[in-house]
Amino acid sequence: MIRGMVIDLEKCIGCRSCVVACKQHNAQPAGNWWNRVFTPGSSRHLSPPEKGREYFLPVHCQHCRNAPCEKVCPVGATYKHDDGTVLVDFERCVGCRYCMAACPYGVRQFNWEDPKKAMKRYEYQNEYTYGHPKDYRLNGRLVYMQSRFKGVVEKCNFCVHYLDQGLDPACVRACPGKARHVGDLDDPDSNVSKMIRDKNGFNLLAEKGTEPTVFYLPPKRKEG
Amino acid sequence: MSNSKKIGFLVTGLLMIAGFVAWIYQYKEGLVLTNMRNSYSWGLYVSGLAFFVGNAAGGLVLSSLIYLFGVKSLKPFAKIGALTAFANVTAAMISILPDIGQPIRLYHMLLHPNLNSPLVWDVIVLNLYAALSLIYLYILMLPDLKGPLAKIALKVDQPKEFSEKWAKRLAPFSLVAAMGIHVITAWIFATQGGRDWWNSAVLAPDFIAVAVASGTAVVFIVSLLTYGFKNEHQQAYRSMAIIIATAYFVHIFLMYNDFIIHYWYGAHEALETLSITFIDYGLAHAFEVLAPLAAVILLLNKKIRQSSGAMISSCILLILGVFAHRFLLMPAAFDKIQLSMNPLGLQHNYWSVPISSGQYDPFIDTFVTKWHYFPSAIEITIFLGVIAFMCFVVLFAMDRFPIAGEAEA
Ligand code: SF4
Ligand code: SF4
């Protein structure tokens, strides 16, 4: 089974709820955002590049099948789980950032400093912390922790820490437009496979040969 | 010890200490002290790797010319070649240490090496090359290991013949290993289909060309500093000048060959990387081309080759140009966002998806498409420390070992 995601751009209203849910659930340090939503063609979110022609594009790790980040990692800290999810082992990562140079999607982020220190500096009040509090190990490998080590790389982990509980990723659950769907790409009858087939699902940067498991459905043409 | 040597040890020693202290400080605070961020994730340190690896080519050029092609005039410089090769290849490895976020964990490279990663290949060949240069140097020094140094000399009947024979035998291997370090270092970048600026078949051959030019220039400088200007070395100066010039022109050909092909076709991605190099970093690009060109023209001039000062300055100019070239490895790779597109339905709008920099600052954007990188004071201090280390190794070995054999006599 290959866990894949479909994002329906027709349904995305650009509210960025998924961005906030992702940031909170995964305890991302200041300045790091695993998941981002943009208005393509415009430098300001929600301002149309041309009248009536705006749509919104969520971007995060594409969990590539042919993932350059995984291939370059000298120590195998970035690796692929059986279900196709590309994960980072926070205990193994040496912080060489080769994977960041390799990823064509610009979704990998680095802990340039101790995240706790950064939190203090940004004056969150009363020791406020956020994020899933418990470490999560998958077959012994530390793939989620609330407060990352400084000097390691992080990125979308497909909310691997909710897998045991049978929960979908936070972004999927948080989406009020129901634009996000998760399912088995290997099964031709799964919800995601059907959507990709019936609604012209496409990949970002397909020409780079990374074979992402995140697919997008094009928005409908807007009548002028 | 002469005064100039003392000053040399003092200056390199102080710079090494400063670099080391800066590294410890950076280790404690994190790489936030550098000016790299998520969108521009490699900077001076990795440029340093490419730079020093290139400088390590001297050993290859000399040993292969002497022992494979019989260029006898270069023989007095063979040991210097092996020594500068060793010093620079070690400096290359040290120069990426401060780039590593968790250096203590590097033992994972031994426990769980990912054999798919060009970085693992590079670590292997760099170490091999360092070992090989040391062995080479030792073999060349063998006949001169006398007095107190006799302790470390291998006991053979005829050290001179032995040394000659083994130097010859090792020459082809050192040639292959030396090609290896440039090719594999280039592959770290060239394999990355995600970065148009690097993803070129020409990068590896070009790395060799640049390395032959700068590696020879390094040997040239050290030889002049050791032996001073000598008329009987005229032939060797000429040979080295010609090697440097040829390598430089091959490099310019390879580089512009790549540019022209991409410029002619005019795809957006290529034009963007070219405009970063030619417009945003226009001055640096002019320098990387013109400084070595000037150096080459000077070195090819017979009159210049009558003065050791003029030759040394020309070689330094060339090396500075090569350094600029190595620095420019990064901007066009990182200041161009790969995830760029024409938004659906918009013909004339080419748009790049910004990257979150990893730095929150109320006054500047977190999401960026360009990061105006210039190394921070910490990065520069550490880098100077690595240069000092390289010079120190050369000075120290020169002082303790019979490297400048015939001149001392
Ligand atoms: S999007 Fe980037 S980080 Fe995610 S799997 Fe692909 S190459 Fe790796
Ligand atoms: S930064 Fe970490 S995850 Fe990325 S390539 Fe280096 S060791 Fe692997």
Q: Where exactly are the structural domains of chain A? A: 3-217
The answer, for B103 touching chain A at a CB cutoff of 8 Å, is: yes
Name the band, by pLDDT with cuts 50, 70 and 90, for residue B17. very high
Partners of A59 on chain B (C-beta within 8 Å) are 339, 353
Of residues A30, A95, A97, nearest to B42 (C-beta) = A97
What percent of chain A is modeled with pLDDT above 90? 86
Instruction: Say yes or no for a CB contact (<8 Å) between A219 and B344.
Output: yes
The answer, for B336 touching chain A at a CB cutoff of 8 Å, is: no
Q: Which atom of ligand 1 is nearest to the CA of A78?
A: 8
Name the band, by pLDDT with cuts 50, 70 and 90, for residue B131. very high
Whether residue B348 is contained in a domain is answered as no
* CA closest to B334 among chain A residues: A101
Partners of B106 on chain A (C-beta within 8 Å) are 94
Whether residue B357 is contained in a domain is answered as no
Distance from CA of B105 to the nearest CA of A (A): 6
- The predicted pLDDT at position B405 comes to 63
Whether residue B343 is contained in a domain is answered as no
- The predicted pLDDT at position B395 comes to 94
Average pLDDT of span B251-266:
96
pLDDT of A140 over the 50 cut: yes
Query: For residue B187, which of B55, A64, B179 has the smallest C-alpha distance?
Result: B179
What percent of chain B is modeled with pLDDT above 90? 75
Partners of A40 on chain B (C-beta within 8 Å) are 341, 343-344, 346, 351, 353
- The predicted pLDDT at position B403 comes to 84
Average pLDDT of span A128-141:
93
Q: Tokens for A43?
A: 């430098």
What percent of chain B is modeled with pLDDT above 70? 99
B99 in Cβ contact with B45 (< 8 Å)? yes
The answer, for A219 touching chain B at a CB cutoff of 8 Å, is: yes
- The predicted pLDDT at position B63 comes to 79
Distance from CA of A54 to the nearest CA of B (A): 9
Name the band, by pLDDT with cuts 50, 70 and 90, for residue A223. low
Q: Kindly provide the b/e burial profile for residues B318-338, where b requires at least 16 CB atoms within 10 angstroms of the residue's own CB.
A: bbbbbbbbbbbbbbbbbbbbb
pLDDT of B406 over the 70 cut: no
Average pLDDT of span A111-131:
85
Distance CA A88, CA A77 (A): 6
Beta carbon of A62 within 6 Å of any ligand 1 atom: yes
- The predicted pLDDT at position B76 comes to 86
- The predicted pLDDT at position A161 comes to 95
* CA closest to B99 among chain A residues: A96
How is the beta sheet containing A214-217 ordered, strand by strand?
Answer: A180-184, A3-8, A214-217
Whether residue B359 is contained in a domain is answered as no
Our count of domains for chain B comes to: 1
User: Chain A interface, mutation test: which of B23, B25, B27, B32, most A Cβ atoms within 10 Å?
Assistant: B32
B336 in Cβ contact with A104 (< 8 Å)? no
A218 in Cβ contact with A202 (< 8 Å)? yes
Query: For residue B75, which of B85, B63, B86, B83 has the smallest C-alpha distance?
Result: B63
B69 in Cβ contact with B112 (< 8 Å)? no
Question: Which ranges of B199-233 would DSSP assign to H, the alpha helix?
Answer: 203-227
Q: What is the ipTM of this complex?
A: 0.93
The answer, for B119 touching chain A at a CB cutoff of 8 Å, is: yes
Which residue in the block uniquely carries the two structure tokens 């789980």? A81
* CA dist list (Å): B390 to A16, A80, B348: 51, 40, 51
**Greatest CA separation for chain B:** 82
Whether residue B11 is contained in a domain is answered as yes
pLDDT of B81 over the 60 cut: yes
Report the CATH number that the domain containing residue B155 is assigned in CATH: 1.20.1630.10
Ligand positioned closest to the Cα atom of A78: 2
Average pLDDT of span A56-73:
97
Beta carbon of A75 within 6 Å of any ligand 2 atom: yes
Whether residue B405 is contained in a domain is answered as no
Q: 3-class SS at A143? A: strand
SS3 content of chain A, % helix, strand, coil (to 5): 20, 15, 60
Non-local CB neighbours of B219 within 8 Å, separated by 6+ positions: B58, B61, B62, B77, B80, B81, B84, B240
pLDDT of A67 over the 60 cut: yes
Average pLDDT of span B236-248:
95
Distance CA A153, CA B136 (A): 40
The answer, for B25 touching chain A at a CB cutoff of 8 Å, is: no
Which residue in the block uniquely carries the two structure tokens 């906030």? A20
Q: Tokens for B392?
A: 């120190």
CATH architecture, range A3-217: 2-Layer Sandwich (3.30)
Containing structural domain, residue B205: 3-335+371-400
B200 in Cβ contact with B274 (< 8 Å)? no
Query: Quick one: how far is CA B241 from the chain centroid?
Result: 19
Average pLDDT of span B278-306:
96
Q: What is the pLDDT of residues B158-204, one digit of tens each?
A: 888 898 899 888 888 888 888 999 999 999 999 999 999 999 999 99
